[in-house]
Amino acid sequence: MSETNATPTYPSVKDLTLEEKASLTSGGDAWHLQSVEHKGIPGYMITDGPHGLRKSLASNTSETDLNDSVPATCFPPAAGLSSSWNPALIRKVGEVMGEECVQEKVAVILGPGVNIKRNPLGGRCFEYWSEDPYLAGHEAVGIVEGVQSKGVGTSLKHFAANNQETDRLRVDARISQRALREIYLPAFEHIVKTAQPWTIMCSYNRINGVHSAQNHWLLTDVLRDEWGFKGIVMSDWGADHDRVASLNAGLNLEMPPSYTDDQIVYAARDGRIDPAQLDRMAQGMIDLTNKARAAMSIDGYRFDVDAHDEVARQAAVESIVMLKNEDAILPIDPAGGKKLAVIGEFARTPRYQGGGSSHITPTKMTSFLDALDERGIKADFAPGFTLDLAPADSALTLEAVETARDADVVLMFLGLPEEAESEGFDRTTLDIPAKQIELLRQVAAENPNVVVVLSNGSVVTVHPWADASKSILESWLLGQAGGRALADVVFGEASPSGKLAQSIPMDINDDPSMLNWPGEEGHVDYGEGVFVGYRYYDTYNKAVDYPFGYGLSYATFEIGDVAVAKTGANTASVTATVTNTSDTPAAETVQVYVAPGKADVARPVHELKGFEKVFLGAGESKTVTIELNERAFAYWSEKYNDWHVEAGEYTVEVGVSSRDIAASIAVTLDGDGKSMPLNEWSTFGEWSADPVGAKVVEAVGAAGERGDMPKLPDNDMMRLFLNSMPINSLPTLLGESGKDLTAFMLDEYAALTK
Ligand code: BGC
């Protein structure tokens, strides 16, 4: 096959035998696509993902040592990067990740993972983006766009509803259609519609009884037919349990191979697989290979290790969220002559990424202590504790308290050791180890000037110990350049600008999903429906330690001139001016929430529908414009099996966290005009609320006045009963003549709608 023409001709499924087509629907080995060399189809590598490249050195999953991979830049996992609220930065991270794939000849990197953090105990929360689908989708799309701009594919995962690790390979996630559409699917939907990821990886679990790999509704009806997905779907590793059912459902690729291609061949021969479906699935694999050809044929490319480390550092700086800062204890002036104590093993041995399939071998590593050395800043260090769940070591405690005693500022590095959270299991507590809290209390008793720096992948409670600290930096997992990024923030070269992508509850038992966590007897009911994270806390006025969207800065800001203009029947445009009222350059994130008015279904009190991070010099102002489309106001109606915007008043809130709203402005929408046909089972109240039904109700009143029909009761209590009655129950209230009234209403309606 010649590839020298300007428009090269590539093989097509028409050139393949049945056996060759079947072979393409399973991997070549654990980390490669299947090749058909003599037909010009190469078997490119695909590998993890998601916060940098884990190019495995093994070809067989059974011999895979997850830590045995080629060096690659380790960026902050999504728990950190999601706090940046900076899509442009995230795209940049994607671009450089794509360059590393080109060097390593990896055609598809397995990420990003955009599952919702339903419960902060979830084992993979560290590599997922948010409790909010809008934020998750609008951030993670940057990874897809960035990587794919380099001619390399991504694999958006895990589609869908991998929200826990307990029983993850088979648990049946029972989720209402509304919660799926409003919470668990929109991040995938947004990324598919705006960036067309080359591949999607399905999840292990079942959704409403059907394994994702075999879920035709998910992989074909929704993903391809509704959203217009053009790429291929692969299984999570070992998630394909029935090759034939999966292929029929819309799964192109089983990973890793189970050496069962003969099942596909037999099924295609005996009609259990439609030959056209096999052709579509196999052609998808050929198209994927073709898309990657250009980048995969670049030889000798070397990425710039230092430049990529700098991107990792910037990403880490913007991932840090400052939760409190009493007495402006931060930043510390490095030339101010302050005596510093650094306590906590994490300062020397950083926890910078999570455990499991995403584990990367970094190209470099800078701890906070390394960063102090680089800057020539002196500090006394004591590890204080070991990075495990073993009991406190009294000698380490004593040394730490001594070290902290006469420092001017104590920087205490606390957090979750590696064994406390990972892919593969869920946490059982939100607390950091008791020995660390005990050490903090002892240190604070000697020296109140304590700054806590937290390292953790998913939320930890701060409630039990926050009073013992003057400042808290939630630094999540910061990737390989985290030490330098922390030094940038601590010493004021950068102002913290991270905002929480996840609420910090006071107690895990406040979490709305706890009643159904992690499920039982093979299933988990998502009983909280759409009330996940702040959607629950804010609607039900539940106190939290720090709300969604929250984060402090060294600067101060003002949001003013907020205006909302209607741009269509159900759309609006929001403008606001944000001013840096300090002399510190910094960034603030303007957040737009939509609060519905009176609604037919229970809706969260407000939901994030837009945001923009604004970088401002001292005293500078900028005006942002955020467009709200129809979806911003809609809910998923199970009645219409569609999105629905009710007519009426909505409030647009502009603020800097879900609980710090600077301005609320009402906007009245026309609604989308959807209505259900009325019938004998519709209540009298529904007839009255419907535009056509209301005319019939008017006619009923007139007929009553004329004496042609029974008069309707007019006292309040009877009216209340009437309104809740399907009209076929009218005889219960009106006696036999109620039957005439029912017939009259149905006839009138038929006449008006014919
Ligand atoms: C994980 C995926 C990962 C795959 C390959 C699975 O166990 O769930 O996220 O991409 O392994 O390592």
Q: What tens digit of pLDDT does each residue of 2-47 get? A: 444 566 678 899 999 999 999 999 999 999 999 999 999 999 999 9
Q: Are 140 and 92 in contact (CB under 8 A)?
A: no
Last residue of a domain, one of 512, 546, 580: 546
Whether the bond into 518 is cis, omega within 30 of 0:
yes
Stretch 321-325: mean pLDDT: 98
The answer to which of 57-66, 431-440, 570-579 has the lowest mean pLDDT is 57-66
Ligand 1 atom nearest 49 alpha carbon: 10
CA–CA separation, 161 and 180 (whole Å): 8
Statement to judge: residues 269 and 136 lie in one domain: yes
Helix (H) or strand (E) holding 538: helix 534-539
Q: Is the pLDDT of residue 377 over 90?
A: yes
What was the pLDDT predicted at 7? 62
Pocket of ligand 1 (CB under 6 A): 48-49, 110, 157, 236-237, 357
Stretch 520-528: mean pLDDT: 98
The answer to which of 6-15, 53-62, 495-504, 683-692 has the lowest mean pLDDT is 53-62
The CB density around residue 163, as the number of other CB atoms within 10 Å, is 30
Q: Is the pLDDT of residue 138 over 70?
A: yes
Q: Are 332 and 340 in contact (CB under 8 A)?
A: yes
Stretch 657-686: mean pLDDT: 96
Statement to judge: residues 247 and 101 lie in one domain: yes
- Comparing 386 with 9, the larger pLDDT belongs to 386
Q: State the distance from the centre of ligand 1 to the C-alpha of 292, rounded, in angstroms.
A: 21
Backbone φ and ψ for 91, nearest 5 degrees, come out as -65, -40
Stretch 325-343: mean pLDDT: 97
Stretch 590-616: mean pLDDT: 97
* DSSP label at residue 261: H
Statement to judge: residues 510 and 654 lie in one domain: no
The CB density around residue 565, as the number of other CB atoms within 10 Å, is 12
Instruction: Tell me, yes or no, if the pTM score tops 0.75.
Output: yes
HSE-up of residue 125 (Cα within 13 Å, Cβ side): 25
* Nearest one of 180, 179, 79 to 135, comparing CA atoms: 79
Last residue of a domain, one of 641, 669, 697: 669
What was the pLDDT predicted at 65? 64
Q: Is residue 708 part of a domain?
A: yes
The CA-CA-CA angle for residues 678, 684, 686, to 5°, reads: 55
Statement to judge: residues 491 and 600 lie in one domain: no
Q: Is residue 349 part of a domain?
A: yes
Q: Are 132 and 167 in contact (CB under 8 A)?
A: no
Q: State the distance from the centre of ligand 1 to the C-alpha of 76, rounded, in angstroms.
A: 18
What was the pLDDT predicted at 6? 62
**DSSP code per residue over 19-54:** HHHHHHTB-SBTTBPPPBGGGTB---EEEE-SSS--
Considering the chain, what is the average pLDDT of its residues? 96
Statement to judge: residues 262 and 340 lie in one domain: no
Burial environment of residue 676 by CB neighbours within 10 A (0 to 12, 13 to 18, 19 or more):
exposed
Q: State the distance from the centre of ligand 1 to the C-alpha of 180, rounded, in angstroms.
A: 22
Label residue 457 by pLDDT band (50, 70, 90): very high
Which residues lie closer than 8 Å to 390 by C-beta, 6 or more apart? none
User: Can you list the alpha helix ranges (DSSP code H) found in 417-527?
Assistant: 434-446, 482-490
Label residue 350 by pLDDT band (50, 70, 90): very high
Give me the count of residues in the chain: 754
Stretch 54-64: mean pLDDT: 72
* Nearest one of 137, 49, 64, 141 to 98, comparing CA atoms: 49
CA–CA separation, 239 and 81 (whole Å): 28
Choose one of 63, 237, 359, 423 to mutate for the ligand 1 pocket test, by most ligand atoms within 8 angstroms of C-beta: 237
Percent of the chain with pLDDT over 90: 94
Statement to judge: residues 195 and 271 lie in one domain: yes
Burial environment of residue 707 by CB neighbours within 10 A (0 to 12, 13 to 18, 19 or more):
exposed
CA–CA separation, 282 and 253 (whole Å): 9
**CA dist 13 to 23, 281, 294, Å?**
12, 9, 20
Q: Is the pLDDT of residue 59 over 80?
A: no
Q: Is residue 282 part of a domain?
A: yes
Q: What is the CATH number of the domain that holds 428?
A: 3.40.50.1700
CA–CA separation, 575 and 330 (whole Å): 32
**Domain span at residue 641?**
557-669
Q: Is the pLDDT of residue 320 over 50?
A: yes
Statement to judge: residues 693 and 603 lie in one domain: no
Percent of the chain with pLDDT over 70: 98
Q: Does the annotation mark 716 as catalytic?
A: no
Q: State the distance from the centre of ligand 1 to the C-alpha of 105, rounded, in angstroms.
A: 19
Q: Is residue 552 part of a domain?
A: no
Statement to judge: residues 563 and 696 lie in one domain: no
Q: Is the pLDDT of residue 618 over 90?
A: yes
Q: What tens digit of pLDDT does each residue of 427-439 get? A: 999 999 999 999 9
- Comparing 728 with 2, the larger pLDDT belongs to 728
407, amino acid identity = A
Q: State the distance from the centre of ligand 1 to the C-alpha of 34, rounded, in angstroms.
A: 18
Q: Which residue minimizes the CA distance to atom 4 of ligand 1?
A: 237
Q: What tens digit of pLDDT does each residue of 215-236 get? A: 999 999 999 999 999 999 999 9
What was the pLDDT predicted at 66? 67
CA–CA separation, 277 and 594 (whole Å): 42
The CB density around residue 736, as the number of other CB atoms within 10 Å, is 8
What was the pLDDT predicted at 3? 45
Number of domains the chain contains:
4
Q: What is the CATH number of the domain that holds 24?
A: 3.20.20.300
Q: Is residue 719 part of a domain?
A: yes
Statement to judge: residues 515 and 536 lie in one domain: yes
* Nearest one of 753, 752, 744, 735 to 701, comparing CA atoms: 744
What was the pLDDT predicted at 10? 85
- Give me the catalytic one of 48, 167, 172, 236: 236
Last residue of a domain, one of 521, 546, 571: 546
Label residue 407 by pLDDT band (50, 70, 90): very high
Q: What tens digit of pLDDT does each residue of 529-558 get? A: 999 999 999 999 999 999 999 999 999 999
Q: Is the pLDDT of residue 487 over 60?
A: yes
Q: Is residue 168 part of a domain?
A: yes
Q: Which residue minimizes the CA distance to atom 9 of ligand 1?
A: 357
Choose one of 45, 48, 67 to mutate for the ligand 1 pocket test, by most ligand atoms within 8 angstroms of C-beta: 48
Q: Are 688 and 723 in contact (CB under 8 A)?
A: yes
Ligand 1 atom nearest 110 alpha carbon: 10
Q: Is residue 676 part of a domain?
A: no
CA–CA separation, 507 and 495 (whole Å): 29
Q: What tens digit of pLDDT does each residue of 676-716 get? A: 999 999 999 999 999 899 999 999 999 999 999 999 888 99
Q: Are 611 and 591 in contact (CB under 8 A)?
A: yes
Whether the bond into 8 is cis, omega within 30 of 0:
no
What was the pLDDT predicted at 2? 42
The CA-CA-CA angle for residues 490, 495, 499, to 5°, reads: 105
Statement to judge: residues 144 and 250 lie in one domain: yes
What was the pLDDT predicted at 1? 39
Q: Is residue 454 part of a domain?
A: yes
What was the pLDDT predicted at 68? 78
Statement to judge: residues 99 and 36 lie in one domain: yes
Statement to judge: residues 524 and 429 lie in one domain: yes
Q: State the distance from the centre of ligand 1 to the C-alpha of 291, rounded, in angstroms.
A: 23
Q: Which residue minimizes the CA distance to atom 7 of ligand 1?
A: 237
CB burial of 450-476 (b: ≥16 within 10 Å; e: otherwise) equals bbbbbbbbbbbbbbbbbebbbbbbbbb
